[in-house]
Structure 1
Amino acid sequence: MKSLPKISVIIATLGDRITELKRLLETLENQTYTHFEVLFVLQQEQDVWSNILEGYNLNTRVVMMSGRGLSKARNLGLAHATGDIVTFSDDDCWYEPETFAHVVASMQTGKDVISLNMYDPNRKKFGRDQHIQAPKFLTKRELLSRSSIEIFVKRSCLDKNEAGPAILFDEAFGLGASHISGEENIFLVDLFQKGYRTYFHPEYPVYHAVQARITRLTRAQILSKGPLFRRMYNTPTAFVLVILFYVKKKQRNLFWEVLKATWTYRSRGEQ
């Protein structure tokens, strides 16, 4: 009899959202699918962690990290994960009791990478406009709209194999890095280019507060778009996407700055 796949839930946190964390832990404890581990990657030491985790019947481990950086923390979590499937929770997201069971059932039909659908049940808003109404494999361009907390991926896809090199989060992107956003999009595109496509389940939510639209893009996030596009695409395509993005977002005051950031960006392979 084939054993059930194990899920590794990687949570990179500063440990300063205790109320939200307890909500997450409660929804993990209530999962109908119970074969999973929870790895906390702490970017600063907290004395309260052992007391908090003792209150829950969960398989948990805490990994201490020196320095800061979301992508760096997730990569450290991957190095310690023992699951067949990995996902990247935030300490302020939460789940339905059947979420992990749905993911495993979908994976068992041959899916390699799955994206759920971020939804704020309090504001009754999705994390993005709902252009995709039915389950489907996402195109490369559609990967730009995914969030890291929605991703579940088979660990074997991340390892070096005949399909290509090992995949990790690009540590030049993400909170605490040179470019503060886009790390999950690069992660999914690297999987896509290795032959692993993301299957979107719009019917399965992962809950998270959705910010008001006016506050979603900061100046730093906007300036990260050029390097992000260049990391994901070839240089001519990146410049076309930058132009389209800034026309759509009406960010003409930052246009020349982002063109410069796009031109000067070099990936590790180009340096």
Structure 2
Amino acid sequence: MSEPVISVIVATLGTRFTELKRMLETLENQTYKHFEVIIVLQNEQDHWSDILATYHVQTKLVITSKRGLSKARNIGLSHATGDIVTFGDDDCWYDAATFSHVVASFQTGKDVISLNMYDPDRQKFGRRQRIQTATYLTKRELMSRSSIEIFVKRRCLEANQHGPRIRFDEVFGLGGDYISGEENIFLADLHRQSYRTYFHPELLVYHAVQPRLTRLTTEQVVSKGPLFKRMYNTPTAFVLLSVFCLKKRQTKLFWKVLKEMWNYQPRGER
């Protein structure tokens, strides 16, 4: 049996030269060698062809004038040929054994797995560690996942007996109508088709952890209503939104967020 191939999809504006080079170096140093790197460059000026040629990894450079993180990732998916796909940011990086551990997990029958985000310089995790042992995540727990932590079998994303094709909802994510939540919707759509996410707290993807901001922007708060409605349904979204606004002390924005949620009509890949 041939070894599974991993497609690493990286959406970038191409301006983080130092960070993207670091990522490519850690990919070059992987002990598991069966992977391809798909760079989706959201910039019509190509600064990367010559740079990529200096690395001993299989790369594809896709240039697009379209902006939006979810759009770029969907474009990357259309070029992916691997058995497993993951969505790296241009400023994340990996331990040399990461891909070997990922493949070993998939060989035990998993369809979707999540790693843990960790900053080795600050020695901090990307979020509070509420889950300490490897386990399948509930739908609610998918809200705490980051896109760079996700690995999924590509066959699960195509139309099959479980349901329609799954892609990132382009209404959500940087450059979309709502600035975040695209990875949570992506995992929720997989969960809806019975593809559950298995969390490995001990397997890490590296990324700088910024100091936590205690004040949410209005844009971030307003996006929660549509996000909850997209992931669940209107009654459940109303309850979740009410709890969120109370917990985050955002009651002054409640009616504005509720109106946004009410007006939002889910669309895109379901």
TM-score, normalised by the number of residues in structure 1? 0.96
Give the superposition deviation at 1:251: 1.7
AA aligned opposite 1:115:
S
Q: Which residue of 2 aligns with 1:83?
A: 82
CA distance in 2, matches of 1:216, 1:46: 36
Q: Which residue of 1 aligns with 2:67?
A: 68
CA distance in 1, matches of 2:217, 2:101: 34
Q: Deviations over 1:85-140 (max 9, x none)?
A: 00000000000000000000000000000000011112221111100000000000
Which structure 2 residues correspond to residues 126-141 of structure 1 after superposition, within 5 A?
126-141=125-140
Please state if 1:263 is matched with 2:236: no
Give the superposition deviation at 1:55: 2.0
Partner secondary structure for residue 92 of structure 2: coil
CA distance in 1, matches of 2:3, 2:151: 16
CA separation of 1:216 and 1:24: change in aligned 2, threshold 3 A: farther
CA distance in 1, matches of 2:11, 2:25: 18
Please state if 1:228 is matched with 2:236: no
Give the superposition deviation at 1:219: 2.5
Partner secondary structure for residue 94 of structure 1: strand
TM-score, normalised by the number of residues in structure 2? 0.97
Which sections of structure 1, spanning at least 5 residues, go unmatched?
none
AA aligned opposite 1:41:
V
Q: Deviations over 1:36-88 (max 9, x none)?
A: 00000111123320222122111001111122011011000000100000000
Q: Deviations over 1:182-202 (max 9, x none)?
A: 000000000000010000000
Give the superposition deviation at 1:149: 0.2
CA distance in 1, matches of 2:167, 2:25: 29
CA distance in 2, matches of 1:82, 1:233: 31
Q: Which moved more, 1:216-225 or 1:10-19?
A: 216-225
CA RMSD of aligned residues (A): 1.2
Q: Which residue of 2 aligns with 1:51?
A: 50
AA aligned opposite 2:78:
A
Give the superposition deviation at 1:254: 2.0
Q: Which residue of 2 aligns with 1:188?
A: 187
CA distance in 2, matches of 1:218, 1:209: 21
CA distance in 1, matches of 2:175, 2:27: 27
Give the superposition deviation at 1:215: 6.3
Please state if 1:18 is matched with 2:26: no
Q: Which residue of 2 aligns with 1:246?
A: 245
CA separation of 1:48 and 1:66: change in aligned 2, threshold 3 A: closer
Q: Which residue of 2 aligns with 1:40?
A: 39
CA distance in 2, matches of 1:136, 1:239: 29
Which sections of structure 2, spanning at least 5 residues, go unmatched?
none
Partner secondary structure for residue 63 of structure 1: strand
Q: Which residue of 1 aligns with 2:93?
A: 94
Q: Deviations over 1:2-58 (max 9, x none)?
A: 100000000000001000011101100000001000000111123320222122111
Q: Which residue of 1 aligns with 2:155?
A: 156
Aligned length: 268
Q: Which moved more, 1:174-183 or 1:118-127?
A: 118-127
CA separation of 1:66 and 1:197: change in aligned 2, threshold 3 A: same
Q: Which residue of 1 aligns with 2:211?
A: 212
Partner secondary structure for residue 94 of structure 2: coil
Give the superposition deviation at 1:142: 0.2
AA aligned opposite 2:3:
L
CA distance in 2, matches of 1:47, 1:262: 39
AA aligned opposite 1:146:
R
CA separation of 1:126 and 1:226: change in aligned 2, threshold 3 A: same
Q: Which residue of 1 aligns with 2:30?
A: 31
Could you list the structure 1 runs, at least 4 aligned residues long, displaced by more than 4 angstroms after superposition: none
Q: Which moved more, 1:210-219 or 1:90-99?
A: 210-219
